[in-house]
Each structure stands twice: as structure tokens, then as C-alpha cells.
Amino acid sequence: MVFTRAQKRTLDSPEEPPSKRKPTTNFPSLFEPPKTHLDSTDLLKNTEINKLLLEKANINNVQQLERYLRVEKYGKGDMLLGARVPDIRKISTLIGELNFNVLRELLQSSIHEKRLLALVNLVTQYQKNQVDPNLNTTNKDNIFKFYMEMREGIDNWDLVDTSASQIVGVHLYNKNEDFKKKWIYETLAVSPRLWDRRIAIVATRYFVARKKFDDTLKLAEMFIEDSEELVHKATGWVLREYGDQDMSGFYQFLNKNAARMPRIMYDQSTRKIPETMKSKYRKMRLEKANKEKKHENSST
């Protein structure tokens, strides 16, 4: 059997640093031993998950997924089984609600699909707590706390986008301003981890859908100066959704910021606006670029 570069990558282990990870030679060996103590019930559940994921593994999908997830740049050390997202969602439904011990084990895995499965399962649990009046807020608080504690395992754009709005956005929307400020502005938005900053802006999709725009706009202005294109891209995406809700307000934002927005943020946010408005903002951006070029030439 021929394996792609992703399958030949090495696994994290408690005893060995990443530089000494051992190469894998087949799919079953991709499943590392538990990193944390699991009781007999949790071990059985973990074994069941491994079996179900192996059944959906498809080596022919791996290279395409590597490109799609930009593993070479953003997911070094990740292993991909080639399982499709709909299959992962079906597995999550089949295995039912997982406890935090099993979820922690999944989120610490080097296998991308395991981390995605954990987040899909966690979102389902949070949503159940949202709609079931018999479940109190303690369950939601615990899920949110666990999510925040396990952010190291949420380390690619698909993992963020699968979970940030559905857990972080919903949770912060229903909390007071001080609580929201602590997590969005004092923790996530200022984090050195690009994934934390992406969580911050993607979480506000939930706010935008409920016509609460202030946090999205504040973060968008902050992230104009961000160095990471995946933060720019997510910000442009959420700004576009803001425009769907309040086009007048979106134009005001563009009037103020279009000329200095990073290219990806600008392109993502303006996909749906009329060509006449695109021409206006392209002209603004060109004028700014020409001024900067003229200034550079005069300085040399």
C-alpha cells in the first residue's frame, strides 16, 4: 500500500518530542495509545471511535484534504485519514454524547478527523443544552470552559469554523458584557495564536445573525492590522454577513476602512456588493497605493 506524506508523518507521544515522532506504516498504527487515563468504559468508547473512523478512512482523499486544509503551512504534524465530513457527523451521531475524558483524548490526537469529531460532538451537546429546558446552564458553562481549555487542539480553520460560532458565540451572546470582554478582547483577540483570533471573529457570526454588530466591527478594525491571512479571510467572511444584515452600515465601514483593508479581507467582504460600489472602493484603494508608492519614492 502506498501512503502519502500525511500518513507518514509522526505522532505526538507523552515521552517523545515532535522531532522524534515515529513514522507510521498503516492506518491502524495511526491510533496512538491514550494520552490520559481512561476507565474501562471510556477505553471501549475510544476503541469504537477508532474502528468507525478506520471504516471511513480513504487514502485517496488525503492529498486533496491536505491542499484544502493547507496542511503544509498550517497543519504540520497533522495526520489525515481522508474521512469525509458527512461521515464524521454520522459517526458523532452514532456514538452519542461523549464525556470530557474521551473528548479530551480526541482533541489531543494528532489525527485531524479525531479533533473534528470531538468538536462536532461538543457542538451537538451544547445545542441540546440550548433547546432543552430541563437542562440547566451549568452544562453549557462546563462545555464552554472545556472548549476554552482545549483550544490547543483547535488548530485549523475548519476546526474553528465548525465550532466557534456554535459554542463561543452562543455562550458569550447570553452572558454579560464583562464576561464577553474578558474572553473576546482580553483573551482571544489579543492571543498570539492565529486560531484564537479566528475564534474571536468567527464567534461573532452568531451576534451578526441577531443584528448585534458592534463586536464584529470592533474586531474587524483590530484585525486590519493582523499579520495572518486566515484571520483576514475570516474577518472578511463575517463582514460580508454583516452586509447581508445592514448594507448601509457595511458601506459606512468600507468608506472608512476599504483603502487600508488587507486584500483578502477586502475581497471576501465585498463579494456581494454592486459593481458600481466595487469600482468606488477599488479607486480608493488604488489612490492609497499610489500615495504610498509616491512617498516611498520620495524617501529614497
Give the model confidence (pLDDT) of 131-180 as tens digits.
766 666 788 999 999 999 999 999 999 999 999 999 999 999 999 999 99
Give the model confidence (pLDDT) of 90-122 as tens digits.
999 999 999 999 999 999 999 999 999 999 999
Nearest 10 degrees: CA dihedral of 210, 138, 200, 246?
A: 0
**What's residue 143's pLDDT?**
96
Q: What length does the chain have?
A: 300
**With bands split at pLDDT 50, 70 and 90, how would you rate the model's confidence at 5?**
very low
**Nine-digit cell string for 37:** 487515563
Q: What is the mean pLDDT of residues 49-76?
A: 90
Q: pTM for the complete prediction?
A: 0.86
Q: What are phi and psi of 261, to 5 degrees?
A: -70, 140
Q: What is the mean pLDDT of residues 237-242?
A: 98
Residue 30 contacts residue 59 (beta carbons within 8 Å):
no
The CA R_g of the chain, rounded to the nearest whole Å, is 22
Give the model confidence (pLDDT) of 69-89 as tens digits.
988 888 777 899 999 999 999
The dihedral region occupied by 70, where left means phi > 0, alpha psi between -120 and 50, and beta the remainder, is left
d(CA 237, CA 270): 9
**What's residue 291's pLDDT?**
85
d(CA 108, CA 149): 12
**What's residue 26's pLDDT?**
54
d(CA 55, CA 59): 12
**What sign does the CA torsion over 56, 57, 59, 65 have?**
positive
**With bands split at pLDDT 50, 70 and 90, how would you rate the model's confidence at 187?**
very high
List own/partner pairs for 71-78 with CB under 8 A and 24 or more apart.
Answer: 71/6, 74/155, 74/156, 74/157, 74/230, 75/112, 75/155, 75/156, 77/9, 77/10, 77/12, 77/18, 77/21, 77/110, 78/6, 78/9, 78/110, 78/111, 78/112, 78/156
The per-residue b/e assignment along 233-262, b for 16 or more CB within 10 angstroms, e otherwise, is bbbbbbbbbbbeeeeeebbebbeebbbebb
- If you average pLDDT over every residue of the chain, what do you get? 87
Q: What angle do CA 92, 166, 200 make, to 5 degrees?
A: 130
Place of cell 472608512: 256
Q: What is the DSSP string of 145-188?
A: HHHHHTGGG--SHHHHHHHIIIIIIHHHHTS-HHHHHHHIIIII
Residue 178 contacts residue 136 (beta carbons within 8 Å):
no
**What sign does the CA torsion over 250, 200, 99, 26 have?**
positive
Give the model confidence (pLDDT) of 211-228 as tens digits.
999 999 999 999 999 999
Residue 266 corresponds to which amino acid? Y
Q: Has residue 17 got a pLDDT over 90? A: no
Q: What is the DSSP string of 193-224?
A: SHHHHHHHHHHTHHHHHTT--HHHHHHHHHHT
**What's residue 207's pLDDT?**
98
Q: Has residue 250 got a pLDDT over 50? A: yes
Residue 137 contacts residue 126 (beta carbons within 8 Å):
no
Q: What are phi and psi of 111, to 5 degrees?
A: -85, 120
